[in-house]
Amino acid sequence: MIADSEILSIKQRFGIIGNSPLLNHAIRVAMQASPTDMTVLITGESGSGKESFSKIIHSLSSRKHGKFIAINCGAIPEGTIDSELFGHEKGSFTGAHEARKGYFEVTDGGSIFLDEIGEMPLGTQARLLRVLENGEFIKVGSSKVQKTNVRVIAATNVNLIKAVEQGKFREDLYYRLNTVPIYVPPLRERGEDITLLFRKFATDFSDKYKVKPVQLTEDAKEALLKYRFPGNIRQLKNLADQISLLEQEREIDSATLLRYLPRNSDNLPAFFTGKNEKESINERDILYKVLFDMKKDMTELKKLVLESFNSGGLSSQIMQQHADLFEDMDEVGDFERNMPEASKPAPLILDAARDQSEDYEVDQIEDISHEMEDDNSLSLERKEKEMIIKALQKNHNKRKYAARDLGISERTLYRKIKQYEINE
Ligand SMILES: Nc1ncnc2c1ncn2[C@@H]1O[C@H](COP(=O)(O)OP(=O)(O)OP(=O)(O)O)[C@@H](O)[C@H]1O
Ligand SMILES: [Mg+2]
């Protein structure tokens, strides 16, 4: 049994502030797992403090005099990660002028911390599973099986079970890694720890820059406890640093504090409502998404109308064949009627064609169609850019999470950031 005093001394040694039951439980599990060789999976939101746990586990283990290497799997390009982790033979790929040892070889007898394990490519996951199962690995470009004795500690801020469901993460590896799970709670679940941490960061600032520390009034403390802190402790530290630097008045009331809390697109600080992240996605953003989907249908519909003009009229057969598209058009109508005047999209070519088909030559209609399509796509591009910027701000410029919110791949997001010249 681990005594409370032992937990306290670990907190002091690793600079961990807080006393919430969830935090204490996580530290206790880490201490119990340390002396074993069991694989540990640390989960928790970004900025919640997972890194210290990997250090606690290695430092309290019998491997403490061995090497400890921390690797961010998300930061190593897919093409080189196998070679970084397992080494390569000379000439095994272009540029491999010399043979190289990988981290699993040089850390023999020590521990490896695999951060952002959810980003590991599937091929590398297969190699990792093998090394976890029987300590065996093969260098890239070699056929010789080598042995190593490394303890693996992994961490992730994404839901690995979901990644398994999506086929991005091997199920067998997930269970193998998750032998000892440690859950690092988000800041909003740590109650009074939030104000303790604020005080600690404000004191650190005042010691470093020789200024009077800022202090929160009671109502400011209350407001801080209600805030949801998507960026967790990393965000709280930035907040304390900013206020310490910029505020002349060292007593901070809630009005002042609120000015520093990032706002949602509806211009309100992101207070914790007990809803999960998904539910809190802004309603307007969802409407924009609907618009994007509808844009595709509209373009298809326009093509159809033009085709029918070219072939001598909108036949009822075509209308029937594409009844689903025409139904969507009615939804667009409802949607538009309920929208504020300024945000209504440009009228559809279908209306123009329907009302005035007698007076237009087909090539005139095509011209209008192109013009309107350009108008529509311009305003949709503006909206798309706006959405991307919002998603990036909401996720503190973390592309991975912004892409997830937008429902697009990280690669597409990257391309769009370039296309719209967005400065992060
Ligand atoms: N309990 C704590 N007391 C004091 N400082 C803390 C505590 N937990 C975390 N920190 C500090 O908060 C910052 C963020 O922690 P850390 O880097 O471990 O987050 P993380 O969970 O690894 O996030 P990510 O998933 O984004 O990598 C670090 O500067 C860390 O020192
Ligand atoms: Mg980290």
Query: Residue 162 CA to chain centroid, in angstroms?
Result: 14
Instruction: Enumerate the domain spans of the chain.
Output: 4-185, 188-258, 309-420
Condensed to tens digits (0 to 9), the pLDDT of residues 281-305 reads 444 444 545 555 555 556 666 666 6
How buried is residue 56: exposed, middle or buried, by Cβ count under 10 Å (0-12/13-18/19+)?
buried
- Closest listed residue to residue 180, CA positions, set 382, 320, 322, 30: 30
Which of the residue ranges 48-62, 146-160, 328-342, 363-377 would you say has the lowest mean pLDDT?
A: 328-342
CATH architecture classification, 188-258: Orthogonal Bundle (1.10)
Q: Which of 24, 199, 234 to mutate to test the pocket of ligand 1 (most atoms within 8 A of CB)?
A: 234
Q: What is the pLDDT of residue 118?
A: 96
Question: Cα–Cα distance between 372 and 349 in angstroms, integer?
Answer: 7
C-alpha 76 to ligand 2 mean position (Å): 15
Condensed to tens digits (0 to 9), the pLDDT of residues 398-408 reads 888 888 877 77
Condensed to tens digits (0 to 9), the pLDDT of residues 67-77 reads 999 999 999 99
Are 149 and 106 within 8 A, CB to CB? Answer: no
Q: Ligand 1: which residue has its CA nearest to atom 14?
A: 47
Question: Cα–Cα distance between 327 and 96 in angstroms, integer?
Answer: 59
C-alpha 227 to ligand 1 mean position (Å): 18
| Higher-confidence position of 272 and 54 | 54
CATH number of 4-185: 3.40.50.300
The CB of 230 under 6 Å from ligand 1? The reply is: no
**Is pLDDT of 343 > 60?**
no
The CB of 54 under 6 Å from ligand 1? The reply is: no
Q: What is the pLDDT of residue 47?
A: 95
| Higher-confidence position of 93 and 28 | 28
Average of per-residue pLDDT across 258-265: 78
**Is pLDDT of 330 > 60?**
no
Condensed to tens digits (0 to 9), the pLDDT of residues 160-198 reads 999 999 999 999 999 999 999 999 999 999 999 999 999
Condensed to tens digits (0 to 9), the pLDDT of residues 98-129 reads 999 999 999 999 999 999 999 999 999 999 99
**Is pLDDT of 342 > 80?**
no
Question: Cα–Cα distance between 171 and 164 in angstroms, integer?
Answer: 6
C-alpha 414 to ligand 2 mean position (Å): 22
